[in-house]
Amino acid sequence: MSTNPSPTDSSTTEPGPSILAERTLLGIFVHFIAILPLVGLIATVVIYAVSNHEFTRANARNALDWHLFVSGSFLATFVLVFGLDALFEYVALPGIVETAVFLPVFALAFVAIFLGFFSVFVWIVAMAKAIFGEAWRYPFAPELV
């Protein structure tokens, strides 16, 4: 009795072309493209809008949801920090009140910075999952698209 599989035995791996029928290279690399700061956001929107392959659209949607979530957190932090600073230039409040108002804003700033660094990790995980055929939802990201 031979333990070596014969060429006629079925294999669990599929040949390359049939794998690409289920998942596309663009569906995999959309996560790598999304890493780029501004170009990634625009490219992800374009890929989501023009793609007709469900796997590519699902991965682009997930990458776009994450990108919008992280970009929104940076934008909210920016608006709050500079908006409140401008407001406090015209409205005189005691220092303790200003500090109490700014503490949540600084917490949001730390969260936004953490999300920026965490993005590299989740983009790598999402691309690895896409290679194996899964459209992975990014953690914490709400469904925006």
For 28-61, how does the pLDDT look when each residue is reduced to its tens digit (9 = 90+)? 889 888 888 788 889 999 999 999 999 999 999 9
Average of per-residue pLDDT values in the chain: 83
Could you give phi then psi for residue 128, rounded to 5 degrees? -65, -40
Range with lowest mean pLDDT among 11-20, 67-76, 99-108 = 11-20
Instruction: Tell me what the mean pLDDT of segment 9-20 comes to.
Output: 54
- Please identify which residue in the block is written with the tokens 């908006």: 83
- Higher model confidence: residue 2 or residue 92? 92
Helix-strand-coil split of the chain, %, nearest 5 = 70, 0, 30
pTM over the 0.85 mark: no
Residues near 2 by beta carbon (within 8 Å), at least 6 away in sequence? none
Between CA 77 and CA 10 the distance in angstroms is: 56
What ranges do the domains of the chain cover? 23-131
pLDDT, residue 12, reads: 56
